[in-house]
């Protein structure tokens, strides 16, 4: 009888550890997906030479994917313009003499079995 109880406890612990491992892997996948999306946005904006249409399309797509994206554009004179995309957000109308952009992508890192849900922010620069 002692062996049966030990086996049952071992199976329960094994199942819980397996479930925890899957949740941690899913949390890491959310990070990887956000990293990949941020890299794609940087590439698209850079290759478009800071086109307002491309910036707005990337922001709208980020909001559709569940991210909050904030873009700060820097021009040659050091002036900045900031835009936020979260379920609507602002739209870039003109982008003249832009030399750099900073992109902040907010996402959620979640591990349900441990009741962890933390907002995270990725920051990237586009030149």
pLDDT digits (tens, 9 = 90+) for 83-126: 888 766 677 777 678 889 999 999 988 888 888 889 999 999 99
User: How far is the C-alpha of 99 from the C-alpha of 19, rounded, in Å?
Assistant: 47
Cα–Cα distances in angstroms (integers) from residue 121 to residues 79, 84, 96, in the given order: 24, 14, 27
Task: Quote the domain boundaries for residue 106.
Answer: 2-126
User: How far is the C-alpha of 65 from the C-alpha of 75, rounded, in Å?
Assistant: 29
Q: Are 110 and 30 in contact (CB under 8 A)?
A: yes
User: Tell me, what's the pLDDT at 35?
Assistant: 93
Lowest mean pLDDT among 11-15, 21-25, 32-36, 95-99: 95-99
Torsion of CA 68, 53, 48, 108, to 10 degrees: 10
The total of other beta-carbon atoms located within 10 Å of residue 85's CB is: 24
For the chain, the average pLDDT equals: 88
Is 1 or 126 the better-scoring residue by pLDDT?
126
18 falls in which pLDDT band (50, 70, 90)?
very high
User: Tell me, what's the pLDDT at 14?
Assistant: 93
Number of domain units in the chain? 1
User: How far is the C-alpha of 34 from the C-alpha of 28, rounded, in Å?
Assistant: 10
């Amino acid at each position: 009888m002692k062996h049966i109880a030990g086996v049952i406890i071992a199976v329960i612990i094994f199942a819980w550890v397996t479930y925890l491992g899957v949740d941690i892997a899913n949390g890491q996948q959310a990070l990887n997906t956000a990293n990949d999306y941020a890299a794609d946005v940087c590439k698209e904006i850079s290759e478009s030479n800071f086109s307002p249409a491309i910036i707005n399309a990337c922001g709208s797509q980020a909001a559709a994917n569940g991210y909050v994206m904030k873009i700060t554009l820097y021009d040659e004179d050091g002036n900045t313009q900031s835009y936020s995309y979260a379920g609507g957000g602002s739209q870039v109308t003109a982008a003249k003499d832009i030399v750099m952009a900073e992109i902040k992508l907010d996402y959620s890192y979640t591990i349900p079995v441990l009741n962890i849900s933390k907002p995270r922010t990725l920051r990237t620069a586009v030149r």
